[in-house]
Amino acid sequence: MKIIQIALLSILFTTAAITTPSASAEDCQLSACVDVYTQDGKIIIEGRKGGTTAVTPAPTKPTIKAIPKKVAPKKIAPPQVKKAVAPPKPKVTKKSAPKISTPTPQPPVTQSASLNDRLIKALPTAGIAYQPEYEPLVDVPVFMWTDLPTSFMTQVKIVGEIVDVALRPSFTWSFGDGTFLSTTDVGAPFPDGKIKHTYSNPGTYLITLISTWNGTYTHNAQTRAITGTVKTTSIVTITVVTSPTRFKN
């Protein structure tokens, strides 16, 4: 009994695997197929919708039929007394005239066609700001932030379909002295900022911000994840100094 059940399950799985591609192709014929993914730091939106073009009859050639030759009956002169029988006259043949028949209507030929479109959306780039702006001091917190939005949303129309795209960034800060911070906060100036760093030594440092975009897209009330991520890098230089030493008498 178990062997029969296993055999039936194998047949069902095989049938499902065979019918899946054809069902997918039929879906694109009935409604649009949409895909959203990332490429070269941009969002790519592709749409494809199957359809049919106008019905075009197939050309037909006229059929020429030959008429069979008609042979005239032999004519023999009546016998005469004491006269030789007249020789038979030569056969009279008529050339067959070509007959053009009406072309037989052929079934219409339907040519399949599909509608394809491709849209490219660029994401905003990040700018970096910090406070104090001029020569921050050693052992004093420096507040940092970026001007990126907390989300990026757009609605596009492709092959007659509406697609909503939504992405959110996450951030990785490198402060240039070997320390890092990962967050989804964009930061803010003093006193509300949550992204801050204190340098222990004077010097010039490179602040690097890596923004990583992930998101989803919605089509026909179904939400799917966007394939891939978009990463952008922003760099700014900061110079940290020591506070001046003052002597009092």
* Domain ranges for the chain: 28-48+110-241
Architecture field, domain 28-48+110-241 = Sandwich (2.60)
Task: Say what the pLDDT of residue 95 is.
Answer: 60
Question: What pTM did the predictor assign?
Answer: 0.62
Model confidence at 49, pLDDT cuts 50, 70, 90, reads confident
Note the pLDDT tens digit of each residue in 117-172: 888 889 999 999 999 999 999 999 999 999 999 999 999 999 889 999 999 999 99
Cα separations in angstroms, 205 against 74, 97, 132, 179, 239: 122, 101, 15, 12, 6
Q: 241 pLDDT exceeds 90? A: yes
Q: 195 pLDDT exceeds 80? A: yes
Instruction: Work out the burial of residue 19: count CB atoms within 10 Å of its CB; fewer than 13 is exposed, 13-18 middle, 19 or more buried.
Output: exposed
Q: 22 pLDDT exceeds 70? A: no
30-44, 48-62, 87-101, 177-191: which has the minimum mean pLDDT? 48-62
2-16, 119-133, 183-197: which has the minimum mean pLDDT? 2-16
Task: Say what the pLDDT of residue 65 is.
Answer: 58
Task: Say what the pLDDT of residue 31 is.
Answer: 74
Average pLDDT, the chain: 78
Q: Pick the residue with more confidence: 78 or 194?
A: 194
Task: Say what the pLDDT of residue 119 is.
Answer: 87
Least Cα distance to 101 among 140, 60, 69 occurs for 60
Task: Say what the pLDDT of residue 118 is.
Answer: 87
Q: Pick the residue with more confidence: 67 or 32?
A: 32
- Report the alpha-carbon distance of residue 196 to residue 141 in Å, rounded: 6
